[in-house]
Amino acid sequence: MKLHHSKHHAAYVNNLNIAEEKLALAKDFFFNIFFAGDIATVISLGPALKFNGGGHLNHSIFWQNLCPSGGEPQGDLLHAIKSDFSSLDNLKNLLSAAAVGVQGSGWAWLGYNPVSKRLQIATCANQDPLHATTGLVPIFGIDVWEHAYYLQYKNVRPDYVKAIWNVANWKDIGERYTKAKSS
């Protein structure tokens, strides 16, 4: 986890900062010269902003979603899990299957759908952020890039996904659910 945090997540933050600096320069140049900015540069920065911004956002949620002895869901979150998935075990099975089923690199998410007012499972490729991709508010994310598990679990993604439930920070997940529900 230290390598994952100090190297991989740090790279997303550093590269996002670089892309944001270039974006600011392009906007300033365009506004000052053409009253619209250097539109080609602005457009060309889109993929870097999405990838690195998504990587930073996704990992920031991921670290907060984890803690040793994370407990169990309680209160409104537990009620929603039972209502939307029948049981915690069923949620774990469905989200785990989604995580294991991601082809290549990406994320599996438990999200809140503000339209249906229900919890929902979704996957996103690469570092695509959940909300921007699906409209769901991220509640709990499972990073299924190989860098998240390869050193400890080798190429056995299912073992990593099974183990992630042992460190799920249900307090944080519950707080995210409460905040999403009230927005």
Tell me whether residue 147 is annotated as binding: yes
Which pair of structure tokens corresponds to residue 129?
A: 């952020």
Q: Which amino acid is at 39?
A: I
**CA-closest candidate to residue 54, choices 121, 115, 118, 145:** 145
Which pair of structure tokens corresponds to residue 168?
A: 């799920």
Run of H or E residues at 109:
strand 106-113
DSSP state for residue 145 in the 8-state scheme: S
Summarize the chain as % helix, strand, coil (round to 5): 65, 15, 20
- Residue pair 174/76 in contact (Cβ under 8 Å)? The answer is yes
Distance CA(14)–CA(20), nearest Å, equals 10
Tell me whether residue 131 is annotated as binding: no
Give binding residues for Mn(2+) as ranges: 4, 59, 143, 147
Give binding residues as ranges: 4, 59, 143, 147
